[in-house]
Amino acid sequence: MKIRLYRTREGRTISNTSEHPIIYLLSDSVGETAEFVVRAAASQFNGGEVAIRRIPYVDDKKIIQETVHAAAETKGMIAFTMVVTELQEYLLEEANKASVPVVDIMGPMLEGIGKLFQREPKREPGLVRRLDEDYFRKVEAIEFAVKYDDGRDPRGLLRADIVLIGVSRTSKTPLSMYLAHKRIKVANVPLVPEVEAPEELYMVPSEKCIGLTIDPDQLNGIRRERLKALGLTSQANYANMERILQELEYSEKVIKRVGCPIIDVSNKAVEETANIILEIFRKGGGQR
């Protein structure tokens, strides 16, 4: 038997030699779906061992032609998850000429879901991978929000997409987590008169910062409820109106120095404030 070697888009060399039957997997993406299905199917044949040759990122007819030739030489078969019609048709035509068996893994499901939705599929390669990438970006943003919550590490301010600043109980943490689910990396810094704001805050571009303010009476009510939840007396300095006014005055000075937009969160749900922040973020050229 003639040995044929050729390279995939990843630079790997695929051979047509194996002691087991060979199944060639053609995909216009990574090819993990095809491999999973093939291995699951092969397991139904007494654990039937097959040699899988995965050829990912197929975007031209030459690779298809090479694969068909290799499959013909080894009396193997081809399975594919390509969604581009032109490449599908070319593969089926070439495989038919060479008498190579071919299995369309995605086709029946696309047809079935197309009937369900009553519309044609996009037929764009790599959409699942993009969804996976969106998921991992979301996870990364959530981990970022947790790590740089409440000013824990000022170094995160320079890596954040958005920095929220304001006094305690202005919804900085809930906003950070909500925005993280939109794949935005958010850090937040509590502003307290006795604690100097970190120098990194003044190094962040003003358009990336959002100042949060709130009505003093509403903040007083929120803090009183917080103290009750903690089993503490509502007379603590934390809920003292004079103290609250002092904090808000200090916060206003810092926000003015930063030069960032200000949002009054009084009587606003987290979702409402987040939507305002997202609008500011988009106008500033931020990408979700």
Q: What residue numbers does the annotated binding site for ADP cover?
A: 166-173
Question: Which of these, 97, 36, 55, lies nearest to 72 by C-alpha position?
Answer: 97
Strands (E), 70-130: 77-80, 102-104
Interatomic CA distance for residues 57 and 286, integer angstroms = 30
Query: How does DSSP classify residue 129?
Result: H
Residues contributing to the annotated binding site: 166-173
Interatomic CA distance for residues 217 and 215, integer angstroms = 6
Look at phi and psi of residue 46 and say left if phi exceeds 0, alpha if psi is from -120 to 50, else beta.
left
Q: Which residues have C-beta within 8 Å of that of residue 262, sequence separation ≥ 6?
A: 210, 211, 212, 213, 255
Strands (E), 97-149: 102-104
Look at phi and psi of residue 151 and say left if phi exceeds 0, alpha if psi is from -120 to 50, else beta.
left
Collapsing DSSP to helix, strand or coil, 184 comes out as coil
Asked if 57 contacts 3 with a C-beta cutoff of 8 angstroms, the reply is no
Question: Which of these, 69, 81, 94, 96, lies nearest to 14 by C-alpha position?
Answer: 69
Rg of the chain over Cα atoms, rounded to whole angstroms, equals 29
Type of residue at 260: C
